[in-house]
Amino acid sequence: MDNIGMGGKVALVTGGTSGIGKATAIALSAMGADVVVVGRDRERGEEAAAEIRARTGGRVDLALADLASQAGVRALAEGFRRRYDRLDVLVNNAGLVQSQRTETPDGLETTFATNHLAPFLLTNLLLDMLKESAPSRVVTVSSEAERGGNIDFDDLQSKKNYRGFPVYGMTKLANIMFTYELAERLEGTGVTATCMHPGAVNTRFGTNNRGPMTILFRLFKPFMRAPEQGADTVIWLASSPEVEGVSGRYYSDRKPVEPKKIANDPAARRRLWEESERLTGLGVTA
C-alpha cells in the first residue's frame, strides 16, 4: 500500500488489536497516519501495537478501554484528548455477539451497549475534534446481519425476547441508522460519516460464546475471508480520495448498498438518536 495521503493525520481504531481493526490499523499506519488502537487486554494490545510498529515503522499507541462501560468510553475520549490535538479518522469497529443476555455496569443489554451506544457516545464526545480537523471521517463497521434485525423502541434492551443473532442484527441496523443521522447532522462541517459490511471474516469474533453459536463459528471459519479482505472497504472509506466528501452511505465491497427500509426513515433515525442520547446521558446538564 502506498505511503501517501495520511501523513500527519491521526486515526483512532476501536477493536484495533485483532481482526479487521488490526488490519485497518496496519494499513493506515503504512500510509503514514499516527494510529491509536483501542483494546481491552493490555498484554494482547501491547503485542499488537508492537507488531504494527514493526511492520510499518509508524507511530502506534495503545488505548485500553472496556467499551461496554460508558465510563470506559468517556475515559477513552478524555485520554485521547489529553494526548492528541486532532482526529482525522475515527473507525468504530469494536463489536460482539452474545448467545446469552447479559447487562453492562450501566444496567444496559451488553450487545446493544457495545455495538451501538459505545460508538454513538465515543463519536459524539470526539465530534468537536473531528470538526476542527476537517476534512475528517467517521467509518462504522456494520453488517448485512442488519437485514435480520428489527428496532423495537419499546424493548431496545431485549428484555422480552433475547436471541443472539437477531439482537446482533438489530445493533448493526442501529449502526446504519446512526451513520445516516450523523451524516445529516454534520452536513457542511467537512466531517463525513459512512458505514460498511465487511463480509464473513475469520477473526476472534464470536469466540466469547459457548454452545451452538461457537460450533457454528468454527464450522464456517474455513469459508470466511481473511481480516485483510474484510478490512479493505474500511481502509478505503477511511483514506481514499475517491470518497472524499461522500457521506451518509452504506457500502459492501466498495459499492454502495441499500439497507433495510427503516434506515431511510428520518423519524425512526431521529428517535433512535434521541433514545441513545437519553441512555448515554448526552446533552444532560448537571
CATH number at residue 173: 3.40.50.720
Q: What is the mean pLDDT of residues 160-185?
A: 96
Q: Report if residue 155 sits inside a domain.
A: yes
Q: What is the mean pLDDT of residues 171-192?
A: 98
Of 162, 168, 180, 250, the catalytic one is 168
Q: Report if residue 212 sits inside a domain.
A: no
pLDDT band at 5 (very low <50, low <70, confident <90, very high): confident
Return the pLDDT at 218: 54
Has residue 261 got a pLDDT over 90?
Answer: yes
Q: Report if residue 286 sits inside a domain.
A: no
Query: Does 168 participate in catalysis according to the annotation?
Result: yes
- Residues of the chain with pLDDT > 90: what percent? 85
Has residue 223 got a pLDDT over 50?
Answer: no
Whole-angstrom distance between the N-terminal and C-terminal Cα of the chain? 48
Return the pLDDT at 160: 96
Q: Report if residue 284 sits inside a domain.
A: no
User: With contact defined as beta carbons under 8 Å apart, do 97 and 164 qualify?
Assistant: yes
Has residue 15 got a pLDDT over 80?
Answer: yes
205-222 pLDDT tens trace: 444 555 554 544 454 444
List beta partners, residue 62. Answer: 37
Length of the chain as a residue count: 286
- Distance between CA atoms of residues 214 and 9, nearest Å: 39
Return the pLDDT at 229: 85
Q: Report if residue 194 sits inside a domain.
A: yes
> Rounded to 5 degrees, what are φ and ψ at 64?
-95, 130
Q: Which residues are CB-contacts of 78 (< 8 A; sequence separation ≥ 6)?
A: none
- Distance between CA atoms of residues 78 and 69, nearest Å: 14
Return the pLDDT at 29: 97
Q: Report if residue 254 sits inside a domain.
A: yes
Has residue 44 got a pLDDT over 90?
Answer: yes
User: With contact defined as beta carbons under 8 Å apart, do 44 and 20 qualify?
Assistant: no
pLDDT band at 283 (very low <50, low <70, confident <90, very high): confident
pLDDT band at 100 (very low <50, low <70, confident <90, very high): very high
Has residue 42 got a pLDDT over 50?
Answer: yes
- Please count the structural domains in the chain: 1
User: With contact defined as beta carbons under 8 Å apart, do 177 and 269 qualify?
Assistant: yes
Return the pLDDT at 199: 72
- Which of the 8 DSSP states describes residue 30? H
- Distance between CA atoms of residues 168 and 101, nearest Å: 11
Q: Which residues are CB-contacts of 131 (< 8 A; sequence separation ≥ 6)?
A: 189, 190, 191
**What's the domain range around 44?**
10-201+227-279
Q: Report if residue 40 sits inside a domain.
A: yes
- Average model confidence (pLDDT) for the chain? 91
Q: What is the mean pLDDT of residues 27-42?
A: 97
136-141 and 89-92 as β-strands: parallel, antiparallel, unpaired? parallel
Name the one residue in this structure whose C-alpha cell is 477473526. 203
Has residue 125 got a pLDDT over 70?
Answer: yes
| Element at 45 (helix H, strand E) | helix 42-56
Q: Report if residue 285 sits inside a domain.
A: no
Return the pLDDT at 222: 47
Return the pLDDT at 228: 80
